[in-house]
Amino acid sequence: MANLHVCRGPQELYEQAAALYARLADEALAARGRFMVALSGGSTTKGMHAVLSGDRYRAKIPWTCVHLFWGDERCVPPTHSESNYRMAEQTLLAQIAIPARNVHRIPAELPPAEAATAYEQVLREVFALSGEALPRFDLIFLGLGVDGHTASLFPGTPGVREDRRLVIAQYVEKLQAWRITLTPPVLNNAAQIIFLVSGADKAATLHDVLYGPFDPERLPAQLVRPTQGAVLWLVDQAAASALRG
Ligand code: 6PG
């Protein structure tokens, strides 16, 4: 049974996500002295950034102990309108006192394969990984595409079956574009995953992901099942409208 919380509307979803972020940050800092978070791209997460960078949380969260990563990135420069980093810079980073050394941007301006290798090296260094060890994020935010993708794991792409690398680059035919993404093993090693899903256009997909047959080639979001962690689906009523009954 999915761990699902239905919010009345988008704003309540953003507020709930920010409150969870703050609580998980406190817990991680108390336990390990740092909070390792991967942000998602897309529009839904922008609303949560606005709450986190607002008066209620901006000064509350000890940003000097937070390390920000990204779950995926478009293969564009960080100044490009499509860049997930640029969106986060405008809606969150510019308003908070986080040290630049704690912001681990995917260098997606590099050739795709180089960008993936470089980011994998960043993960190994910041998480101090050795051998085959996986990074364990305290929190990874994910979105859900209408086609069932999450991060940049799209239906029918090799990333869905990646079980070795930490980060891969893949060409997404339907987008006619390259993407960089964390892989299923990294997502499934997280302590907490929070999906943020808003809008009626996601309703049918959300139903199929949560209650339909397991078919990750068609619905990659179904891959996200942390082995020693939790998944929370934070959705609004519009996105949940196909779940009732
Ligand atoms: C991206 C995201 C992607 C996103 C979903 C949902 O780079 O676009 O990482 O996985 O989370 O497409 O996007 P919306 O929140 O805009 O619907």
Q: Which atom of ligand 1 is nearest to the CA of 196?
A: 15
Calpha distance 30→225 (Å, rounded): 26
- Give pTM, 2 decimals: 0.98
Q: What is the CATH number of the domain that holds 110?
A: 3.40.50.1360
Domain that holds residue 109: 4-227
Which residue, among 160, 138, 123, has the nearest Cα to 230 in the 3D structure? Answer: 138
The model's pLDDT over 60-95, given as tens digits with 9 standing for 90+, comes to: 999 999 999 999 999 999 999 999 999 999 999 999
Q: Which atom of ligand 1 is nearest to the CA of 73?
A: 7
Looking at ligand 1, which residue's alpha carbon is closest to its atom 11?
143
Evaluate whether residue 76 is within a structural domain.
Answer: yes
Evaluate whether residue 223 is within a structural domain.
Answer: yes
Calpha distance 239→164 (Å, rounded): 33
Evaluate whether residue 161 is within a structural domain.
Answer: yes
The model's pLDDT over 178-197, given as tens digits with 9 standing for 90+, comes to: 999 999 999 999 999 999 99
Calpha distance 232→38 (Å, rounded): 15
Looking at ligand 1, which residue's alpha carbon is closest to its atom 12?
145
Evaluate whether residue 234 is within a structural domain.
Answer: no
The model's pLDDT over 159-173, given as tens digits with 9 standing for 90+, comes to: 999 999 999 999 999
Distances (CA, A) of 89 to 34, 49, 179: 21, 10, 19
Evaluate whether residue 210 is within a structural domain.
Answer: yes
Q: Which atom of ligand 1 is nearest to the CA of 152?
A: 10
Question: What is the DSSP secondary-structure string of 94-132?
Answer: GGS---GGGB----TTS-HHHHHHHHHHHHHHHTT--TT
Calpha distance 21→35 (Å, rounded): 10
Evaluate whether residue 43 is within a structural domain.
Answer: yes
Evaluate whether residue 240 is within a structural domain.
Answer: no
Evaluate whether residue 153 is within a structural domain.
Answer: yes
The number of distinct structural domains making up the chain is 1
Which residue, among 245, 236, 234, 242, has the nearest Cα to 2 in the 3D structure? Answer: 234
User: How do beta strands 139-142 and 192-197 pair?
Assistant: parallel
